[in-house]
Structure 1
Amino acid sequence: MYKVLVTDGISDTGLKSLFDHPHFVVERQPTLPLEELKIIIGNYDALIVRSQTKVTEELLESADQLRVIARAGVGVDNIDVNAATRKGIIVINAPGANTIAATEHTLAMMLSLARKIPQAYEKTKAGIWDRNSFKGVELYKKTLGVIGMGKIGTEVAKRAKSFGMNILAFDPYLTEERAKKSGMTKASLDLIARESDFITVHTPLTNDTKGLINDDYLSKTKKGVRFVNCARGGIIDEKALVRAIQSGHVAGAALDVFEKEPVADPELLQNPNIIVTPHLGASTVEAQEKVAQEVSAEIIEIFESQSITNAVNMPQMSGEVQQKMQPYLLLGEQIGQLVIQLLKQAPSKIEINYHGDLVEEDTELLTRVMIKGILSHHLSDSVNLINAFHLLKEQGVSYNVQNIPHNKGFANYMELTVSQGTESATIGATVLNGYGARIVKMNHYRIDVKPEKHLLYILHQDMPGMIGKVGSLLGDYQINIGTMQVGRTMVGGEAVMVLTLDKKVNAEVIQALTSINGLNAAQFLELSNVDTFVPGRQELQKVESI
């Protein structure tokens, strides 16, 4: 018998499959203080929470029997995933269960924004019959810009078409064929700004999307545009949005998510042209039942057949294999993150080549790690080691893996290439005995760089004084250089310079660098993980068919 503890308010209907299963005992406890929960947590095999229970490292120290933590929802910010992973506990969520709820809430917000329904409601309830102050606009024949064409963005576009709206869609992985098939137009962000009457955002919150809708972007938009955000707080710069509304350039906004929650900013709460709701996107009876049903079904699958679909971390390989592959796993994630930044766009093709000793190893997990590193640049934490191949297929990206015995000059070597059309980017890497991980190739250039959090990649003409000019300029901006490596293919031709830095480089520094005579391009690269790849305790025995 497996014991399951439910600590937050979760639908009985959603948990029915667990209640009815002969091999599971489900016990409910109201949200308990940490000290009380620590006393009992060691008796359970699985824990189901929503957002109220905080699953901390301290709590998990007492959870020696626990094998699964299930978040009946999408986000896992109330769960210390790294601590769970180190403990060998699988963390799962229900990423698709709120799609319809979030889609319908987006449409409800857009209609409320167009017809000023909340404002009219408040005034009518106050006893004021005012038909003149709330003249709205129709959705019919208006242009809707959809930024982010994942499941929710796609469903929003589909429903908006039924209102007779023209759809402009942006997503790094959206193809012309898919857009045409869905009756929409693939568009750039700038085209959406110029042409859209309404703009709705449906992207993850990443380094690229944080502040995506800012002063500069708003200045490009059509006068009278209206914004909807039911995705993630922070995608829209709230201060910039308020300024654009106060100036009259933006007609209004409907926001369900905020940079800080609960929202308390009076400029948002008291502006008559801004509609707000308290993060209600997934708050429907049906969605809450679906999330409980999804995690219940997966808990049964994990214990009964070792099948895992929606894990946000990764069960562990055997101890011996883990020890041998550990440095490669971290390096694989790092080169995945770097190569997609070098490409500067979503890939249509991925090629992975293993050489030397790696040919003799089981590299499936290493391949997953690289693909996760690539996809996470655009998809953020929605991609994990379990769903990486599935998302790759969903985005229409092909991949090829080759094992080549020839060692390429190193005892072990892996090379990752991503491409889109005629553009491509390549990184080659190795683990040197006694020296650790090294990036030894970037595009066509041979280098020797230890992966660090902040990297600066520079293409320049091979000419005297270039290194000094770069170092001097960075010093002027108080940016300290850790290491510098150079490479070239021929004397006097184009060369590469790769620097590790102590902090980030902003656009102003990049612009100053590219103004140096003979310096052709400069790009800041950032790694989110420079520490340790930490898989969980159990070897993955079965991955859901993709």
Structure 2
Amino acid sequence: MYKVLVTDGISQTGLKCLVDHANFIVERQPTLPTDELKKIIGDYDALIVRSQTKVTGELLEAAGRLRVIARAGVGVDNIDVNAATKKGIIVINAPGANTIAATEHTLAMMLAMARKIPQAHQKTSCGEWDRNSFKGVELYKKTLGVVGMGKIGTEVAKRAKGFGMNILGFDPYLTEDRAKKLGITKASLDLIAAEADFITIHTPLTNDTRGIINDEFLSKTKKGVRFVNCARGGIIDEKALVRAIQSGHVAGAALDVFEKEPVADPELLQNPNIIVTPHLGASTVEAQEKVAEEVSAEIVEIFEKQSIQNAVNMPQMSGETQAKLQPYLVLGDQVGQLVIQLLKNSAPTKIEINYYGDLIDEDTELLTRTMLRGVLSYHLSDSVNLINVLHLLKEQGVSYNVQKNATNKGFANYLELSVSQGDETARIGATVLNGYGARIVKINQYRIDVKPEKYLLYIKHQDVPGMIGKVGSLLGDYQINIGTMQVGRTEVGGEAIMVLTLDKTLGTEVSRELVQIPGLDEAQFLELSNVDTFDAGRIEPQAVESV
């Protein structure tokens, strides 16, 4: 018999599959202080909480038999995930249970904004009958741009079609075939800016999506466009949005999420053309039941079938294996992050991993997942972790293949990762050299020797005299210091590459000037999120949207 402790206000209906299961005993307690919870936690195999109970490292020290901590919701800020990981405790959440709630809230916000319902309600409830100030617009035959065609974005698009809207969908993983099946048009961000009457956001918050709706994007939009954001604060540059509304270019906005919460900015709260709600996307009775149902079902799967889908911490491995593979885990994550950027930020449809040397005798499952996570994290951010990465690959229709090769590549251990979309392929080969550390030794067909650093500049050019000097001179003009520079070529006078490590980020203006150098064909800035360690703490819960 497995004993499950339930604290906080968890839906009783949602717990039904656990309560009715013959192999589980479910006991409910009110939210308890850590000291009180410590006295009883040692008797339980699983713990289900919402946000009130604080699952600290101190508490987990007393949890001798605890195997699973379930958060009936998305965020796990109240759970010490690292402490749980060290003790081998699986932490799970319910990332998909709020899809319908967030979808319907998005449509509600869009309608409320289009018909000025909150403003009209406020004035009418104050006793003023004003029918002239609140003339709205119809959704029928308008164009809706959906930025992020994951679960929520897809459901929004389906429902918006019911209003007779034309749908433009942007997502790096959206294929022409899937768009056709949904009855929408696959579009670029520029096309959405140019043609959309309404734009709704449904992406995770990543370095790539932060501030994606900014002054430059807004300048490309139609006059009178309206925005909805029920995904994550920070995707829209709020100051830029306010400026565009004040100028009259943007007609309005409906915001459920904000850069800082609770929001206090009067320019957002007091603007008559902006309607706001306090992060209510998942706040429905049904959603709260679903999160309880989802974690309850997964607890049964974990204990009965050892099947895990929504864990937010890393899988376990022996200390000996982890010590041996540790430098390759760091390197694998870095290679994954870099190779997807070399694919020009496109989403891959095919991934291939090859191992050589002594690595073929090791259990490389964690290393494989680490590289795959590095690839997907560029677009999916913290919504991808070491547990769900294979599930997400399947969900997105990305094929992957792993091979262990007995042939020698000139190194004791060598790994090679390639990602492809259509005819485009990006490939990186890497190794760890005794006494020298991690090295990238191949990029596409070029031999190279580069230590992974946070800021890298990849340049493709013609192998002609003076090229290195011109690049160095231009970077110097912008006060950008070069750490190292490595050059690779396949033949004298032909195409070549150079890879530079930099001390700081590279602006778009510098990139534009670099490609003006005669004979320089391509300049791409690459950035790594982690450089020195395999960061288990980076395995975070899924964001509001999972692309």
Q: TM-score range by the shorter chain?
A: over 0.9
The change in CA–CA distance for 1:418 and 1:322 in structure 2 (over 3 A counts) is same
Shift of 1:63: 4.2
Name 1:543's counterpart in structure 2: none
Once the two structures are overlaid, the 10-residue window that deviates more, 247-256 or 40-49, is 40-49
Name 1:522's counterpart in structure 2: 523
Query: SS at 2:253's partner residue?
Result: strand
Shift of 1:38: 5.1
The change in CA–CA distance for 1:72 and 1:444 in structure 2 (over 3 A counts) is same
Shift of 1:145: 0.8
- Kept in 2, the 8 Å contact 1:470–1:513? The answer is yes
- The code of the aligned residue for 2:229 comes to N
- Kept in 1, the 8 Å contact 2:309–2:391? The answer is no
Name 1:127's counterpart in structure 2: 127
- Kept in 2, the 8 Å contact 1:514–1:521? The answer is yes
Query: SS at 1:14's partner residue?
Result: helix
**Does residue 118 of the first structure (1) align with residue 118 of the second (2)?**
yes
Name 2:540's counterpart in structure 1: none
Deviations 1:336-360 (A, max 9, x none): 1110001011112212222222233
- Kept in 2, the 8 Å contact 1:316–1:535? The answer is no
Once the two structures are overlaid, the 10-residue window that deviates more, 81-90 or 308-317, is 81-90
Superposed, which structure 2 residues align to 1:338-353 within 5 Å?
338-344=338-344, 345-353=346-354
Name 1:481's counterpart in structure 2: 482
The change in CA–CA distance for 1:41 and 1:450 in structure 2 (over 3 A counts) is farther
1:454 and 1:87 mapped to 2: Cα distance? 35
Deviations 1:68-90 (A, max 9, x none): 22121123344343343233221
Name 1:237's counterpart in structure 2: 237
Once the two structures are overlaid, the 10-residue window that deviates more, 84-93 or 2-11, is 2-11
2:536 and 2:320 mapped to 1: Cα distance? 13
1:440 and 1:107 mapped to 2: Cα distance? 50
Deviations 1:385-434 (A, max 9, x none): 22222222222222222222111111221111111122211101112233
Name 2:413's counterpart in structure 1: 412
- Kept in 2, the 8 Å contact 1:172–1:346? The answer is yes
1:408 and 1:361 mapped to 2: Cα distance? 17
2:334 and 2:348 mapped to 1: Cα distance? 17
Name 2:162's counterpart in structure 1: 162
Once the two structures are overlaid, the 10-residue window that deviates more, 475-484 or 248-257, is 475-484
The change in CA–CA distance for 1:534 and 1:186 in structure 2 (over 3 A counts) is closer
Unpaired runs of at least 5, structure 1: 537-546
Deviations 1:429-450 (A, max 9, x none): 1122333321111122111122
Name 1:188's counterpart in structure 2: 188
Deviations 1:484-519 (A, max 9, x none): 322222223332222223332222332343344443
The change in CA–CA distance for 1:58 and 1:474 in structure 2 (over 3 A counts) is farther
Give the alignment's TM-score, normalised by structure 2: 0.92
Once the two structures are overlaid, the 10-residue window that deviates more, 365-374 or 72-81, is 72-81
Deviations 1:173-222 (A, max 9, x none): 11111111111111111111111111111111111111111111111111
Once the two structures are overlaid, the 10-residue window that deviates more, 401-410 or 79-88, is 79-88
RMSD over equivalenced CA pairs, Å: 2.2
- Kept in 1, the 8 Å contact 2:348–2:419? The answer is yes
Shift of 1:24: 3.6
- Kept in 2, the 8 Å contact 1:454–1:525? The answer is yes
- Kept in 2, the 8 Å contact 1:86–1:534? The answer is no
Shift of 1:135: 0.7
Deviations 1:203-259 (A, max 9, x none): 111111111111111111111111111111111111111111111111101111111
1:473 and 1:41 mapped to 2: Cα distance? 62
Superposed, which structure 2 residues align to 1:36-75 within 5 Å?
37=37, 41-57=41-57, 59-75=59-75
2:507 and 2:56 mapped to 1: Cα distance? 35
Query: SS at 1:133's partner residue?
Result: coil
Query: SS at 2:460's partner residue?
Result: strand
Unpaired runs of at least 5, structure 2: 538-547
The change in CA–CA distance for 1:44 and 1:529 in structure 2 (over 3 A counts) is farther
Name 1:306's counterpart in structure 2: 306
1:517 and 1:35 mapped to 2: Cα distance? 69
**Does residue 513 of the first structure (1) align with residue 498 of the second (2)?**
no
